[in-house]
Amino acid sequence: MSMPMMRPRRKNPVLRTRTINLPPVARGRTALGLTSAAAEGRFALQVCADCQAVQYPPREACHRCLSAKLVWRGQPGEGELLAVTTLRHSNDLFFRERLPWRVGLVRLDSGPSLIVHLHGDIGEAPARVRVGARLDRAGQAVLIAFPELEQAHMADDPILREMASDPKFRKVLVTDGKTAVGQAIARALVKAGADIVWVGVAEPWKKTGGLEPLLALPQITQVPLDLTNSRSVQALAGELAGKVDIVINNAEVHRAFGISARRGTDVARDEMEVNYFGLLRLSQAFGPALRARAADGDAGATAWVNLLSIYALSNFPPHGTFSASKAAALSLSQCLRSEMRQAGIRVINLFPGPIDDEWNQNVQPPKLAPAALASALVKALRDGVEDVYPGDVAQEWLERWREDPKVLERELALGGS
């Protein structure tokens, strides 16, 4: 059984900073389907559309009938552990720093045999296990065998901590603590075991409901942060960038209406100023410091989270300019992810549907509760995924968007939601 993780020791400032070593990143294009599924927390393998054979490793043609009609489908992952070995030597710098490393051979109930990393709670073969896909520090999918039954403290396993961004014992910055969403996120992080949660407040002279009880928690500290002000962002980065392990950018401006229902560009400019340029300012100020601290082990920087919207995938005309600002933020976050991946920093994008807050008062249910969004965020950090679509509306939009983006665009233009 996994033992609870001990609080990591603080980094010795006298010692030189280690350089990040990432796992091997070479993958063929065919194998990226496995990575795409793992980025959303799913385990998928190629299935032949003609003979229904499930295969691994990924190939261009079916190993049984040579058909090229291969689709990626989710797999339950149950199987039998056939053999176990422990690696005590490696020519790869990443694994050399982490030896010994246990791997095993698993035969899935669906047919294929896989070589996988082994969770620390798995004993010797033979044994029943379940296989899942996770993203490693390089952003590529790897396979891990877990015990068949959930056990206490499984998330504290060193392999999972290496491939995830569990907030336990971490120091986190939440960019907006004045909203219901920001306060729910901060409380969820405290419940998850975060050491310190800094919550940004743009206009501290404005009294906000719920903020005082939040600040009464010993792990919560209020800091001044206005994402529309470069000087404010730079000042906070100078104070905290070398300490923060996880940045959660939840600050946003959300206004209803589209283009013709409102004259001028002031409101749209405000949305872009926070939703897009705010993310840009934050990335420029905090990004370099996080990348520099990525090799500090359990005390190092590990993740960046952006609160986007399902409207970023396809414009929702009743919230047209807000949708456009989130689409711009999505494009920018993809650039940020590419740059952060070189240092092993995970960039997570949240795509919720309508949230039950002041800007969606006139939107019909179902709406996502702030606490549910916060729970999805913490789970994403623990599971090490990249893209999260919390809530029924977001899941439905995602399914329709993947089926045919043009059809979804037409439905939304005609008033569908």
Answer yes or no: are the C-beta atoms of 280 and 331 closer than 8 Å. no
**How do residues 271-307 score in pLDDT, each as one tens digit?**
999 999 999 999 999 999 999 888 776 667 789 999 9
Give all domains of the chain, ordered by start, each with its CATH number.
29-162 (no CATH), 171-413 (3.40.50.720)
Residue 376 banded pLDDT, cuts 50, 70, 90: very high
Which of 164, 94, 182 shows the shortest CA–CA distance to 386?
A: 164
Residue 334 banded pLDDT, cuts 50, 70, 90: very high
Please give the pLDDT value at position 352.
96
Q: Comparing 196 with 7, which gets the higher pLDDT? A: 196
N-terminal to C-terminal alpha carbon distance within the chain: 47
- Those residues whose C-beta lies under 8 Å from the C-beta of residue 220, and which sit 6 or more positions away, are 177, 186, 190, 197, 199, 214
Answer yes or no: are the C-beta atoms of 307 and 32 closer than 8 Å. no
Q: Mean pLDDT across the stretch 329-337? A: 97
Which of 118, 224, 105 shows the shortest CA–CA distance to 173?
A: 224
**Mean pLDDT over all residues of the chain?**
90
Please give the pLDDT value at position 299.
66
Q: Mean pLDDT across the stretch 51-57? A: 94
Please give the pLDDT value at position 416.
62
- Weakest-pLDDT range from 70-84, 213-227, 360-374, 389-403: 360-374
Q: What percent of the chain has pLDDT over 90?
A: 68
Q: In whole angstroms, give the CA distance from residue 414 to residue 226.
A: 37
- Does residue 2 have a pLDDT over 70? no
Q: What pTM value is reported for the model?
A: 0.90
Please give the pLDDT value at position 293.
85
Q: Mean pLDDT across the stretch 327-350? A: 95
Please give the pLDDT value at position 48.
96
- Does residue 365 have a pLDDT over 90? no
Q: In whole angstroms, give the CA distance from residue 366 to residue 251.
A: 23
**How do residues 260-277 score in pLDDT, each as one tens digit?**
877 889 999 999 999 999
**How do residues 79-106 score in pLDDT, each as one tens digit?**
999 999 999 998 888 888 888 989 999 9
Please give the pLDDT value at position 417.
55
Please give the pLDDT value at position 8.
67
Which of 342, 232, 245 shows the shortest CA–CA distance to 282?
A: 232
- Does residue 16 have a pLDDT over 90? no
- Does residue 44 have a pLDDT over 60? yes
Residue 40 banded pLDDT, cuts 50, 70, 90: very high
Tokens 């998928």 appear where?
A: 44
**How do residues 63-76 score in pLDDT, each as one tens digit?**
999 999 999 999 99
**How do residues 186-208 score in pLDDT, each as one tens digit?**
999 999 999 999 999 988 777 77
- Weakest-pLDDT range from 67-81, 234-248, 359-373: 359-373
Please give the pLDDT value at position 413.
87
